[in-house]
């Protein structure tokens, strides 16, 4: 599967532009994490890109979300490791996070929301002016971007990456595609 094929499938399955942006953000954060950890950047990026491909197809039904998505990823040619990470990122299924890919996707997913929210509260609503220390400050504010699960984000420690570095990796990665994210 090529990135173009994966992105085409995402665009065919997802109408919500903000959800597509979230998936693009997760892709770029996953690529950056793979680079930092010496993993396969293409596989990790594609996993991030595809992880929420079924949200609209399942009408947001969390008991089905990621089950269909993992099947769709498999049909596109994703490896079983990628398929497992997509399935396991929805902890509602009770599937253990086993590999570094599983753990990376699980903690990168909510990080993109936290960083996006940090940009959106700025007067210019742009990532360019967001600094890692402001994301760190916002991380500590439980009511800020309340949907961005801090426990999930802190799972970066299981990857051997300290929280401050993880926030910086995510922010830098997302700044690299700020135009695509509309930020």
The residue segments making up the domain with residue 159 are 3-181
- CATH classification of the domain holding 18: 1.10.3210.10
Mean pLDDT in residue range 37-46: 98
- Sequence length of the chain is 183
pTM: 0.97
What number is the average pLDDT over the span 107-120? 98
- Tell me how far apart the 2 most distant CA atoms of the chain are, in Å: 43
Number of structural domains found in the chain: 1
Q: What is the DSSP letter of 127?
A: S
Q: What is the pLDDT of residue 60?
A: 73
């Amino acid at each position: 599967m090529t990135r173009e094929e994966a992105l085409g499938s995402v665009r065919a399955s997802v109408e919500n532009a903000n959800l597509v942006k979230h998936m693009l953000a997760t892709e770029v954060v996953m690529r950056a994490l793979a680079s930092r950890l010496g993993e396969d950047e293409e596989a990790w990026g594609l996993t991030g890109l595809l992880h929420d491909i079924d949200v609209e197809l399942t009408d947001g039904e969390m008991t089905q979300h990621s089950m269909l998505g993992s099947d769709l990823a498999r049909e596109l040619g994703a490896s079983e490791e990628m398929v497992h990470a997509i399935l396991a990122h929805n902890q509602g299924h009770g599937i253990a996070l086993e590999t570094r890919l599983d753990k990376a996707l699980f903690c990168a997913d909510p990080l993109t929301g936290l960083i996006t929210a940090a940009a959106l509260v700025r007067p210019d609503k742009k990532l360019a002016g967001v600094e890692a220390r402001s994301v760190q400050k916002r991380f500590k504010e439980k009511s800020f971007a309340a949907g961005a699960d801090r426990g999930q984000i802190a799972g970066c420690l299981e990857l051997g990456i300290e929280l401050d570095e993880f926030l910086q990796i995510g922010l830098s990665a997302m700044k690299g595609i700020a135009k695509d994210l509309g930020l």
